Amino acid sequence: MAAILLVEDDPLVRRGLQLALSRHGHDVRTSDSGEQGLEQFRASTPDLVVLDLMLPGIDGFEVCRRIRDAGDVPVIIITAKGDDFDVVGGLEAGADDYVVKPAQPSVLDARIRAVLRRSGGDTGDLLVHRDLRIDAAALSVSLRGEPVTLTPTEMRLLLTLARSPGQVFSRQQLLEEVWEHDYLGDSRLVDNCVQRLRAKIETSPATPEYVETVRGFGYRFARR
């Protein structure tokens, strides 16, 4: 899964690609103009940018140049069919690859994964959800770009939940998965650990946006 910034001014295309790429497992944020795209890029530092070239205000060529000046985040441009000028101009501006409109989601997803592999940014061990980033390989967590210090148990709990967003885990299941208890242990272990985890990753622990309570059943990690 990768954190994708999609910059596209056509609302139908933008929504369609966002839904399709989300179904492919990516965390997709969108912008409808070059200015907004640059603001979101600076605020969130995505793993990859999908960029339409024909944008109002600051066009995609300039957006691409500014992204490239800021670092090595990969950029895939969306070009008009048969417009070699756009392709050449976009690649000269620093794009890593391109797709031609209408962009087929499966093709775009394949290009995204290929570019990330080439750039060393394959995110198989990276879980991204809104402002929360979990690096399973490095056992590190950041929230809005700031590191979050978790205990080993809190990390195991977060990974168990985050790897299966939307799946409800009973307290007994979590005891078995996280604490490796194969008996009817004390469910307060789970509840207390959830409370500590929420205090570290939730803006408002009383109204969590990541680790949700499913009354009468247990806990789940929120869907995107």
Print the domain residue range for 191. Answer: 126-221
My answer on whether 135 and 109 are in the same domain is no
My answer on whether 113 and 139 are in the same domain is no
Q: Answer whether residue 76 shows pLDDT above 80.
A: yes
| CA dihedral for 45, 46, 50, 55, sign (positive or negative) | negative
CATH of the domain at 193: 1.10.10.10
My answer on whether 134 and 59 are in the same domain is no
Pairing of strands 169-170, 218-221: antiparallel
Alpha-carbon gap, residue 122 to 26, rounded angstroms = 12
Q: Answer whether residue 28 shows pLDDT above 70.
A: yes
Where does the pLDDT of residue 184 fall: very low under 50, low under 70, confident under 90, or very high at 90 and above?
Answer: low
Concatenated DSSP letters of 22-51: HHTT-EEEEESSHHHHHHHHHHH--SEEEE
Domain boundary among 119, 151, 175: 119
The phi and psi torsions of 54 (rounded to 5 degrees) equal -90, 85
My answer on whether 203 and 186 are in the same domain is yes
pLDDT at 124: 53
Please say whether the beta carbons of 60 and 52 come within 8 A: yes
My answer on whether 131 and 208 are in the same domain is yes
Tell me the β-bridge partners of 48.
4
My answer on whether 113 and 152 are in the same domain is no
Per-residue pLDDT reduced to its tens digit, 58-75: 999 999 999 988 877 889
My answer on whether 82 and 153 are in the same domain is no
Kindly give the interhelix angle for 34-44 and 60-70, rounded to the nearest 10 degrees. Answer: 20
CATH of the domain at 108: 3.40.50.2300
My answer on whether 14 and 87 are in the same domain is yes
My answer on whether 96 and 138 are in the same domain is no
Concatenated DSSP letters of 163-223: TSTT--EEHHHHIIIII---S---THHHHHHHHHHHHHH-SSTTS-SSEEEETTTEEEEPP
Name the DSSP letter for residue 187. Answer: T
Alpha-carbon gap, residue 43 to 174, rounded angstroms = 34
Domain count, the chain: 2
Q: Answer whether residue 196 shows pLDDT above 70.
A: yes
pLDDT at 164: 87
Domain boundary among 85, 119, 153: 119
Threshold 0.75, pTM exceeds = no
Per-residue pLDDT reduced to its tens digit, 118-149: 665 444 577 888 889 998 888 899 999 899 98
Q: Residue 37's closest CA among 17, 22, 56, 13?
A: 56
Alpha-carbon gap, residue 199 to 189, rounded angstroms = 16
My answer on whether 207 and 151 are in the same domain is yes
Domain boundary among 99, 119, 139: 119
Average pLDDT, the chain: 86
My answer on whether 77 and 95 are in the same domain is yes
My answer on whether 138 and 115 are in the same domain is no
